[in-house]
Structure formats: structure tokens, C-alpha cells
């Protein structure tokens, strides 16, 4: 077998493996560490006390999940809370 034939065989095998891999490719798993955060991170992001975070939970403003007593929040829910309370002041209202 010549070097050219060996390279052609290897190339064919690589193409076959690539096709098989593409057919059985699994989508990227969700990185739960990025999606869910604990109260300490929420307190840092919102610059609020633990009690204030609890008030937001109690009134329904900040959704959460509880697993074996540990409370976790979705990053997107914290971002939504900030966005929903965003108020843009018109320039002429502040007297500038």
C-alpha cells in the first residue's frame, strides 16, 4: 500500500467518523451554575440586604426555587426585576 493510498483511507475514515458524529451530536448541556444564583449573589447584584431579598420573594416580585432548604434564583429573573423597575427621567424634568 502506498502512502497516497494510506492517506486516502485515513481521510475516508475521518469523513465517515465526522458524519457519524454529526448525526449523533448532543446539544450543549445547560450550565446550571450560570443560570441559577444564590442569595449572596442576588444581594451583591441588587446591593440589598438578605431581608430585602426575602421581601421581594414574599411579595412575588422575585421568583425562586427551594431545593432541600437552599433558595436559588434565575439570573434572568433578577435581570427582569431590574428592567421592570427601570425609570428613565426626561431631561427637562430634572432642570438640567
Report whether 78 contacts 62 (CB < 8 A).
yes
Average pLDDT, stretch 63-80?
95
pLDDT, greater one: 79 or 8: 79
pLDDT at 30: 59
Q: By three-state DSSP, how is residue 9 classified?
A: helix
- Percentage of the chain surpassing pLDDT 90? 52
pLDDT at 65: 96
User: Taking 60 as the threshold, does the pLDDT of residue 63 lie above it?
Assistant: yes
Position with higher pLDDT, 44 vs 23:
44
Percent of the chain with pLDDT over 70: 83
**pLDDT per residue as tens digits for the range 32-47:** 667 999 999 999 999 9
**CB neighbour class for 74 (10 Å; exposed up to 12, middle 13-18, buried from 19):** middle
Average pLDDT of span 16-37? 72
Domains in the chain, CATH or no CATH each: 32-84 (1.10.10)
Burial zone of 92 (CB within 10 Å; 0-12 exposed, 13-18 middle, 19+ buried): exposed
Amino acid at each position: 500500500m502506498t502512502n497516497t493510498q494510506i492517506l486516502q483511507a485515513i481521510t475516508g475514515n475521518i469523513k465517515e467518523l465526522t458524519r457519524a458524529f454529526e448525526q449523533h451530536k448532543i446539544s450543549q448541556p445547560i450550565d446550571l451554575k450560570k443560570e441559577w444564583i444564590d442569595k449572596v449573589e442576588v444581594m451583591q447584584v441588587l446591593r440589598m440586604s438578605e431581608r430585602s431579598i426575602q421581601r421581594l420573594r414574599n411579595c412575588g416580585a422575585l421568583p425562586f426555587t427551594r431545593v432541600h432548604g437552599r433558595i436559588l434564583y434565575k439570573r434572568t429573573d433578577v435581570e427582569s426585576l431590574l428592567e421592570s423597575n427601570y425609570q428613565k427621567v426626561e431631561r427637562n424634568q430634572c432642570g438640567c
